[in-house]
Amino acid sequence: MERNVFFISDGTAITAEVVGHAVLSQFPLSTASFTLPFVESETRALEVRDQINALYKQSGERPLVFYSIVSPLVRTIIEASDGFCQDVVQALVAPLQQELGLAPDPVAHRTHGLTATNLTRYDARIAAIDYTLAHDDGISMRNLDQAQIILLGVSRCGKTPTSIYLAMQYGIRAANYPFIADDMDNLRLPAALKPFHDKLFGLSIDPERLAAIRDARLNNSQYASLRQCRLEVNEVELLFRNNQIPYLNSTNHSVEEMATKIIDLLGMNRRIY
């Protein structure tokens, strides 16, 4: 079964996407998705309504519509479409209003916009991204005292995407350091990393998966051979154990899952930006 799905917002639509995807993941359903941010005007809302109605007429199935919209007029236009419409925020606002005894004060772009209340946190996140990019793949070993986490592992095990996700999503300054084939004959923890042992976290991966990833990058190379991958993974995992460095196998985890597990295992404060 396939259904058309809309994620609509008068802001970035990130909230509608996250909540909508979380709900849809509970069903054995394939989807064709349409993300429509900044639906703020009556004209734009009417265009979106017509798009929803056209897909309903074409498929005979009501499109699923997840939306987060502040303007009552825009919201009414979307709700008048032929889609199955779900407000991803309002379902929680009413009971929370009753509990708090406060009337909501909805403002467009408050969640992801640069308001005075979140500007400082935004600056911290940009600084974390800059730091992480400057310390990717062992580019620089300077200022490691400023790192909040240092990821270690073989080439192509997921260090870079995990580091960047930690910086972008949580504002965490993440450096990462690769162990390469030339290190394997006498593998040891670099002296520059030893003072920061409490910040070290290892990533590993199944050799078969690593070989497939590397082969897509450098087909039929020694770098991508299963034998080489087994050697590197075994040696690096032994280094992790000998140096009491916690590590995680990335084979069956998404970047989001790995980042969350790392934060949890290291007992780090989790801040959403």
Q: Could you give the CA distance from residue 91 to residue 19 in angstroms, rounded to a whole number?
A: 12
254-263 per-residue burial string, b: 16 or more CB within 10 A, e: under 16 = ebeebbbebb
Helix (H, G, I), strand (E, B) or coil at 74: helix
Neighbours of 216 (CB within 10 A): 10
pLDDT tens string 14-61 = 889 999 999 999 999 999 999 999 999 999 999 999 999 999 999 999
- What's the Rg (C-alpha) of the chain? 23
Task: Write down the domain spans for the chain.
Answer: 2-100, 119-266
The pLDDT of residue 125: 85
CA distance 248 to 240: 10
Q: What is the pLDDT of residues 65-118, one digit of tens each?
A: 999 999 999 999 999 999 999 999 888 888 888 898 888 776 665 555 545 556
One fold for 2-100 and 119-266 = yes
Q: Is 71 helix (H, G, I), strand (E, B) or coil?
A: coil
CA dist., res. 14 & res. 273, Å (int):
12
State the chain's mean pLDDT as an integer: 91
Catalogue the E-assigned strands of the chain.
Answer: 2-9, 30-36, 64-68, 84-87, 149-154, 174-179, 200-204, 247-249
CATH of domain 2-100: 3.40.50
Tokens in use for 218? 């450098």
* pLDDT on residue 114: 46
In this prediction, residue 115 carries a pLDDT of 54
Nearest of 50, 105, 45, 51 to residue 76 by alpha carbon: 45
* pLDDT of amino acid 227: 97
3-state SS assignment for residue 143: coil
**pLDDT at 187 exceeding the cut of 60:** yes
Helix (H, G, I), strand (E, B) or coil at 80: coil
Which of the pair, 12 or 250, is modelled with greater confidence?
250
pLDDT tens figures, 253-272? 999 999 999 999 998 876 66
Burial class (CB in 10 A: 0-12, 13-18, 19+), 268: middle
In the prediction, which pLDDT does 95 show? 86
Give the pLDDT of residue 124: 85
Helices (H), the chain: 14-24, 42-59, 72-79, 90-100, 119-134, 159-170, 207-217, 226-242, 255-266
Q: Residue 247 pLDDT more than 70?
A: yes
* CATH for 119-266 (3.30.1490.20, 3.40.50.300, 3.30.70.1400, 3.20.20.80): 3.40.50.300
What does the alpha-carbon distance between residue 239 and residue 221 come to, in Å, rounded to a whole number?
A: 25
CA-nearest of 139, 152, 128, 149 to 260 is: 149
Residue 97: predicted pLDDT: 86
- What element of type H or E holds 209? helix 207-217
- The tokens describing 132, both together, are 């992480």
